[in-house]
Chain A
Amino acid sequence: QVQLQESGPGLVKPSQTLSLTCTVSGGSISSGSYYWGWIRQPAGKGLEWIGRISTSGSTNYNPSLKSRLIISIDMSKNQFSLNLSSVTAADTAVYFCARGIPGSGRFDYWGQGTLVTVSS
């Protein structure tokens, strides 16, 4: 059973960089042709797709976040990461990581989510 767990600081100051890591267990991140994605949910709002990375390192980003966003993958650690720069209060949200199925657009396994608050 594949499991994903988000980790990282729960509080980030405005203008700084938000960094989160997703650790995958129960299977190798490099096996199969999956992609690995990030989704967030601001309080009281809906889900927002952030972006995704394939095991080959190919990325796709939400156009509204693209200029501030880097998603990377470390197969030796079975992890992938999110870096969002120049954050503001609008980036305060619960951040989820998930496994995606190519050619489908679906996420079949999700992490529990982690709350990140942007505040001074």
Chain B
Amino acid sequence: QSALTQPASVSGSPGQSITISCSGGSSDVGAYNYVSWYQHHPGKAPKLMIYEVNNRPSGISNRFSGSKSGNTASLTISGLQAEDEADYYCSSYTSSRTLVFGGGTKLTVL
């Protein structure tokens, strides 16, 4: 199975908004509303930020939001803060009853 496609890097200034895309196909992102997003600070455990396209787990700031259109999902972070600087990964359930991750996006807060 092929990894979902994410931009390698995005950047933004504090207070700004950024969006990270996650492109898949008709057998994964396009087929199910089972897209998740994780924040990963190197050396730490990944942290679930969004699940089922646009749901936030308890304790996650409403600055984080998710959406999906066709075969592409997106994560938007508004009001960027220095602590948001991390790697972000999307994942999707697939028609083969497996999961697939995106290649990851490095977010830099300028």
Chain B contributes a number of interface residues (CB within 8 A of A) equal to 29
Chain B residues lying within 8 Å of A47, measured Cβ to Cβ, are 38, 40, 46, 89, 91, 101, 104
Neighbouring B residues of A46 by C-beta, 8 Å: 3, 89, 101-104
The listed residue (B32, B46, B47) touching A105 by CB distance below 8 A is B32
Q: Is the CB of B45 within 8 A of A96?
A: yes
Contact B91 A105 (CB under 8 A): yes
Q: A-side binding surface: helix, strand, loop or mixed?
A: strand
- A110 close to B (CB within 8 Å): yes
Pick the residue among A48, A98, A104 that contacts B51 (CB under 8 A): A104
In the docked arrangement, what's the CA distance between A46 and B53, Å?
20
A positions within 8 Å CB-CB of B: 37, 39, 45-49, 52, 60-64, 96, 98, 101, 104-108, 110-113
A-B contact pairs, 29 of them (CB 8 A): A45-B104, A46-B104, A47-B40, A47-B89, A47-B101, A49-B91, A49-B101, A60-B97, A61-B98, A62-B98, A63-B1, A98-B46, A101-B51, A104-B34, A104-B52, A104-B93, A105-B34, A105-B35, A105-B36, A105-B91, A105-B92, A105-B99, A106-B36, A106-B51, A107-B46, A107-B48, A108-B51, A112-B45, A113-B45
